A and B are shown apart, each in its own frame.
Chain A
Amino acid sequence: MFKVGTEKLNELILGIKERNHEAFREFFFLFQPGIFNYLIRLTCDKALAQDLTQETFLKFWLNADKIEISSSPKAYLYRIARNLALNSIRQRHNNCSYDEDESLLIYFSRRSEAEIDSLFFMDDYQRAVNSLPERCKTVFLLSRFSGFDYSEIAEMMEISLQTVKNQMNKALSVLRKRLQSHLN
């Protein structure tokens, strides 16, 4: 997990706001692996994650003038990524409305096994994370893999700090139950 220095990040953001291509390029190289990683865990679809990663950066570039340095640009980037992922999942089965709290497993159950397995290697850990309701899953992913602290997660998801804590407790208790056999 790497943390980019705030000073450096601000410099890049200022550059991007001034439409500096080189700054945007560098910004992309710094965050592309993290965003891809986040999206693939969120969607379990490699090709989709790849497309959405691009779309995330595209949106960031197009909306750069709205970014405020004082808020966290990284959180903003991850927020774009999550919204895109949720939208695309909703679109994919627009007939059966996608409830935010519905388990992603139900979403996956509508796809053929071969389809899912071709997307990428699913291990017990990924399966366990998938069994979490969306909000719970996102909180867990952001905390475990994206290096955000709870208050950043709260800001990013526009929920209260207490909700983040509750979701985290919920995620951990489900994961522990599901992965019990791996923890002995």
Chain B
Amino acid sequence: MERHKNNFGNILTRFPKTVDSQFIIRVINNEVNQEEKEFFETWLHESEENKEEFGSLSLLWDKFGNARVPPPPNPELHFEELTKTINAEYSTSKTDEKFEQVSLKSSLKVNVNKTISNRNDYGWLIRAASIIIIFLTLGYIYQNRIVHSKQEVSPQVVEKPIFYTVVAAKGEKKTIVLSDGSVIYLNVDSKITYPKRFAADSREVELMGEAYFSIQADKIRPFKVISGNTVTVVTGTEFNILNRDNLIRIVVTKGSVEAYRKHSDKGVSLKRGEMTTFSEIKGFTNPTKASVDHFLAWRRGQFSFSHTPLSKVMEEISRYYNIPVYFERPELKSKTITGKFDSNSLENIFSIISLTLDVKINHSGDKVLIQQ
């Protein structure tokens, strides 16, 4: 009798009077007990409406799984910053509580030990995490060395920074992931130089040619792109820089950037969707609304031309396919083209151009000849 009563009370508090959305989510999350499960199943088979209700909620729940959020910051660096804060917190009070920078050797050893000793139910996770930690630690070793050398070694000794240069030759594009997680998409016939590790107060890279930058936010270390005589400064945003034939063009697709002339504080601020061009004589133009679609066509594998002279069009094509182009008569160079072309079919582009401009494009072997 007593037991029966308890059971009954239990059911009353746990069961909803009807199956509502929150209950269905509990079912989806597998948080229901056997009784509740049976209660739900009976409900489910009561009507088509109920099945639809369940279906649409599961779909909604599921769809949120694909929602995009930025990845968390590099845990190793993030933790390092945290320990600095903790040390700062303690430096005013208890110095003995200071958070030691975990020495690299010991931290590696600890992680390896963990990998071996974990054989329980969450072992795979810890193992995966340990492997990640080991990899991150390897990165950390290098960084630590620089930091330590700066702090502990006498000031005369300066660690020589290591620079990498990545070249995308004609006909090839490259993607570079920097140590801070920023990504650079290098267009054909372009070059980027960056340090293996960024300095503590800024992140500087140098660009020739064209690249699209997707920069991780870091207020403490602004990101600077040096290109020709310009410096573009951002904290965390996305933008495109083109530097060819003495013309530099900056197009911002996300956030905002500041662009300066080198060794000067003269510059412009650009917001999302704006562009500026820089030339040695005129400096920066005032920011104007940019046709982002047009300027970033290369990222989608397209050529986008707008009243572009054939000479420029062919220059571009020559860069993408690494083939020389010759004009039989110079006046052909000034004919103009407008339109978008997929850059994966050269023959297709040529046939459209030759039809619209009424020229002959002779593509034989490893060169292109344009004739009337």
Contacts and interface: CB of A to CB of B under 8 A. Distances in A.
B69 A22 contact: no
Contact of A123 (B61, B67, B78, B235): B67
A165 B75 contact: no
In which size bucket is the chain A interface? Answer: 35 or more
Interface in A117-145: 117-118, 120-121, 123, 125-126, 143-145
- The A interface is mostly helix, strand or loop, or mixed, namely helix
A29 B129 contact: yes
Interface string A1-15: 011110110000000
Interface stretch (B43-51, B80-88, B326-334, B362-370): B80-88
B319 interface: no
B254 interface: yes
Interface in B19-49: 20-23, 25-26, 29, 31
Interface stretch (B95-103, B203-211, B288-296): B95-103
A53 to B, nearest CB: 7
B325 to A, nearest CB: 39
Contacts of A183: 56, 59-60, 63
A143 B29 CA distance: 9
B121 A36 contact: no
A165 to B, nearest CB: 5
Contacts of A149: 26, 29, 31
Contacts of B171: none
A83 interface: no
Interface in A53-93: 53-54, 57-58, 61-62
A149 B29 CA distance: 8
B110 A22 contact: yes
B255 A114 contact: yes
B122 interface: yes
Contacts of B70: 40, 46, 120-121
A7 B85 CA distance: 29
B125 A4 contact: yes
B272 interface: yes
Contacts of A114: 255-256, 271-272
B121 A5 contact: yes
14 contacts: A8-B126, A19-B97, A29-B129, A29-B133, A40-B69, A46-B217, A50-B78, A54-B81, A58-B85, A61-B86, A120-B69, A123-B67, A143-B25, A183-B56
